[in-house]
Amino acid sequence: MIWFQLQSLMGSYPLALRGLGMTIALSGISLVLGTILGFAFGVLRTSGSRLLDSAIGLWVDLIRGTPFLVQIFLIFFILPELGVELDAFTAGIIALTNLAACFICEIVAAGIRSVPTGQVEAALASGLSQWQRMRQVVLPQAMRVSLPPLVGQYVLLIKDSSVVSAIGLTDLTRVGWLVVQRVPNGLLVFAIVGIGYFVVCYPLILLARRLERRMSAAHGEVQL
């Protein structure tokens, strides 16, 4: 029986590739946009303005404190009631980009705050403008601290992309639900779906480990 199920799964190979491509496209676009917005929010949050810090912090806490599924439903089902029509792919991009930006904002802000105050004061004494201090002094040091958790967050956000199947987007998870209706072996089907996500995420996991080792080695050299 398992042999016939495997044959049926092989017949779903084109659909699985389509779902894998959709997952990669959705995650890739959202992570690029989310990284750009997250860095901007992180820099603005640490700019010294209490208003910006409070406003961005409130939005970040709201997004991080509510289920991602609810956020997708609000974008896909509620916005059309207000006259904003969105297809499933665009709604997924907006929701995942917003989620990525909020988490990346906190990582970047924490990295910036980890830069020693003496470094910033020295840059100020040398006559650098606020933008020059941020670009030449603060961000290069903050990135060394932020990169490992940033890459780790990318892995989590790729896995979060599976939630968009709830609004009908044919990603890898949605393909699993479609195939399991034809191949009544949920364990086998979703094991293969899990392998698909693992294939996408594993290179990033290896990259995060490598960055963490470099950070640990650099920290050890500094202590010596």
Q: What is the pLDDT of residues 63-97, one digit of tens each?
A: 999 999 999 999 999 888 888 888 999 999 999 99
In contact, 88 and 167? CB cutoff 8 Å: yes
Q: What is the pLDDT of residues 94-129, one digit of tens each?
A: 999 999 999 999 999 988 888 887 777 777 777 777
In contact, 165 and 171? CB cutoff 8 Å: yes
Cα 10 from Cα 68, distance rounded (Å): 32
Phi-psi region of 67 (alpha: psi -120 to 50; beta: other; left: phi over 0): beta
Q: How confident is the model at residue 2 (pLDDT cuts 50, 70, 90)?
A: low
Contacts with 180 (C-beta within 8 Å, 6 or more apart), sequence order = 186, 189, 190
The residue to which tokens 């894998």 are assigned: 20
What does pTM read for this prediction?
Answer: 0.84
Sign for the CA dihedral angle at 181, 14, 169, 195 comes to: positive
47: DSSP letter: S
Sort 193 into a burial class: Cβ within 10 Å, 0-12 / 13-18 / 19+.
buried
In contact, 37 and 97? CB cutoff 8 Å: yes
Give the pLDDT score at 138.
82
Cα 188 from Cα 210, distance rounded (Å): 32
Q: How confident is the model at residue 224 (pLDDT cuts 50, 70, 90)?
A: very low
CA atoms within a 13 Å half-sphere pointing along the CA-CB vector of 96 = 30
H or E, element range at 78: none
Q: What is the pLDDT of residues 7-61, one digit of tens each?
A: 666 667 788 888 889 999 999 999 999 999 999 999 899 888 899 999 999 999 9
Calculated CA dihedral for residues 20, 69, 44, 151, nearest 10 degrees: -40
